[in-house]
Amino acid sequence: MRIDIVSLFPEFVTQVAGHGVVGRAQERGLLALHGWNPRDHAEGNYRRVDDRPFGGGPGMVMLIDPLRACLAAARAADPAPAKVIYLSPQGMPLTQAKVRELAGEPRFILLCGRYEGIDERLVAAEVDEELSIGDYVLSGGELAAAVVVDAVARLQEGALNDAESAAQDSFAADGLLDCPHYTRPVEHELGTVPEVLMSGNHAGIARWRRQQALGRTWQRRPELLDEAALSAADRKLLEAFKAENP
């Protein structure tokens, strides 16, 4: 998959994506990132990329033309058609379902705004989708773009190790929070490890983990349970958890 990043700080995104799973995906040829800077497509000695908002008010707005030229250059670098995704606080919230959808595309372009945002005419003419990563204020779209790249890269076939893939299968798929994890030592000043995890009873361990996942989701993110497809066995485990943790 190919992802083009249009940003005043494209290296910011490509650098973040140089480490860990995403870096490995690039080394394995599963992901190619390309940064594009609208400043390189701006005219004049000052290479302006922004101007004051019509109607007044604080902040600056990104100019249409440098962004349009930059998007055209990014598009032309590869013959495959590419959706343009604008990261903005006004976008629909990014979800794992959206991440899965994007992970199946051969390529797409991430458009990052700075200042107050982008001239709305450029958005109307060039943007296919607008995405937010949550209800808090960032200084620009770059961190959000890095989030999209990370989440999408790890879903590319072969990006995760076997162990990482197995963990992905059992949990992330069903929309529940994860169970708690423990490692050595068994006895520690901060406490001991739940008995069941050392029992060797694999069915018992699986049941405990499922119950913890259900219970913690109920405690911390009850709205996620509305969307989760719970079996009759899940409901019993959750009721037992509730009884023990009122």
Asked if 60 contacts 113 with a C-beta cutoff of 8 angstroms, the reply is no
- Give me the least distance between CB of 58 and ligand 9D3, in Å please: 8
Where does this chain touch ligand 9D3 (CB under 6 A) — which range of 6-14, 25-33, 130-138, 152-160?
130-138
- Give me the least distance between CB of 9 and ligand 9D3, in Å please: 12
Query: Is the Cβ of residue 3 or residue 179 nearer to ligand 9D3 in the bound state?
Result: 3
* Residues pairing with 83 in the sheet: 108
Among 144, 151, 152, 179, binds ligand 9D3 (CB under 6 A): 144
Among 7, 14, 37, 88, binds ligand 9D3 (CB under 6 A): 88
138 is known to lie in a ligand binding site: yes
Catalytic-labelled residue, pool 157, 162, 169, 226: 169
Among 18, 20, 81, 134, binds ligand 9D3 (CB under 6 A): 134
Query: Is the Cβ of residue 139 or residue 231 nearer to ligand 9D3 in the bound state?
Result: 139
Catalytic-labelled residue, pool 27, 43, 101, 116: 116
- What is the per-residue DSSP string for 6-62? E-SSHHHHHHHTTSHHHHHHHHTTS-EEEEE-GGGG--TTTT--EEPPTT--SS-EE
The answer to whether 154 is a known catalytic residue is yes
| Residue indicated by tokens 């107050």 | 116
- Residue 230 to residue 177: CA distance in whole angstroms: 13
- Give me the least distance between CB of 59 and ligand 9D3, in Å please: 7
Query: Is the Cβ of residue 124 or residue 163 nearer to ligand 9D3 in the bound state?
Result: 124
Among 39, 60, 132, 193, binds ligand 9D3 (CB under 6 A): 132
134 is known to lie in a ligand binding site: yes
What are 58's two structure tokens?
A: 């604080």
Strands (E), 45-163: 50-51, 61-62, 83-93, 107-112, 129-132
Which of the 8 DSSP states describes residue 115? T
Q: Which of 164, 173, 161 is nearest to 100 (CA)?
A: 173
What are 155's two structure tokens?
A: 């879903």
26 touches ligand 9D3 (CB under 6 A): no
Among 35, 38, 66, 141, binds ligand 9D3 (CB under 6 A): 141
The answer to whether 116 is a known catalytic residue is yes
- Residue 67 to residue 63: CA distance in whole angstroms: 7
Strand (E) or helix (H) holding 91: strand 83-93
117 touches ligand 9D3 (CB under 6 A): yes
What are 74's two structure tokens?
A: 């990014």
The answer to whether 53 is a known catalytic residue is no
Task: Give me the active site residues, please.
Answer: 89, 116, 154, 169
